[in-house]
Amino acid sequence: MIEASESPRGYRFPKLVIGHAVYLYHRLPISYRDVQELLFKRGIEVSHETVRTWCVRFGPDLAEALRQRKPRRGHVWHLDEMRIVMGGVTHWLWRAVNGYGDVLDVLLQKTRCKQAARRCLQRLLDEQEIPEQVVIDGLRSYGAAIRETPELSCALHIRVSAAERQNNLIEQSHRPTRDREHQQRGFRGLERAQAFLFIHAEVGNLFRYTRARTIARLRRRNWLCAFGSWGELSLSIP
């Protein structure tokens, strides 16, 4: 018997089940129906629409809690944008990672201009310490926006060429996002896509040190830490 205190107000299933469903959807390249099947295998009968509701309702709160927990480190910012087409219209996903490869922020915008770059920089400055170095590509919007941002006047800015950029840290970090875009056959709607990409980035940060290239003993320890943190956050669902 599930006690009412174990479930969010107005929901039938316990917080840990809801948190696990959100984890499955945002961590693995699977659909809501796939999550429904995996839960059914464990004796939990829910519809894929219920899973979607959980992800929309609780995903942003869990991601924001993760953002508040993670250390605000990063003396180096790597900035870049990637092209995303939604409904035949080109949008730009502005992304920033630190020198360790952790995603600092993602912002989906319709334009690729100075104003869009300034919005991206301002969001970063609201959450992060001023960096010692900012690595950018040849997009002029970055330079114009940085010159109009007094807080960054003391930072060292490096402009890399298109050839060097192919091996840039942030270029490699685009790949999980692109993989999810292909798996979902594209994103639909700016607001919903922004919410999904924010959650996807924060969950990815939490489990980034559990990849196969890590030695087995360290990988298992990182798994335990990541799952422990996710479980604690799941229990904090209001």
**pLDDT 10s digits, 12-25:** 999 999 999 999 99
Domain residue ranges of the chain, discontinuous segments joined by +: 4-69+207-235, 76-203
pLDDT at 169: 82
Residue appearing with tokens 């809801």: 18
CA diameter of the chain: 61
pLDDT, mean of residues 23-37: 96
pLDDT of amino acid 2: 41
Question: Is the model's pLDDT at 34 over the cut of 90?
Answer: yes
pLDDT for res 4? 40
- Residue 165 has a pLDDT of 59
| Closest C-alpha among 94, 115, 91, 114 to residue 104 | 94
Higher pLDDT, 105 or 75: 105
Residue 180 or 160, more confident: 180
Q: Higher confidence at residue 129 or residue 37?
A: 37
Mean per-residue pLDDT of the chain: 88
Q: Is the pLDDT of residue 72 over 70?
A: no
Q: How confident is the model at residue 164 (pLDDT cuts 50, 70, 90)?
A: low
Of 30 and 130, the structure prediction assigns the larger pLDDT to 30
Instruction: Tell me the two tokens of residue 230.
Output: 């996710």
Smallest Cα–Cα separation from 176: which of 119, 87, 102? 102
> In the structure, what pLDDT confidence band is assigned to residue 229 with cuts at 50, 70 and 90?
very high
- With b meaning 16 or more CB within 10 Å and e meaning fewer, what string describes 114-144? bebbbebbebbeeebeebeebbbbebebbee
- The CATH class, in words, for 76-203 is alpha beta
Poorest-pLDDT segment among 29-38, 85-94, 166-175: 166-175
DSSP for 90-109 reads EEEEEEEEETTS-EEEEEEE
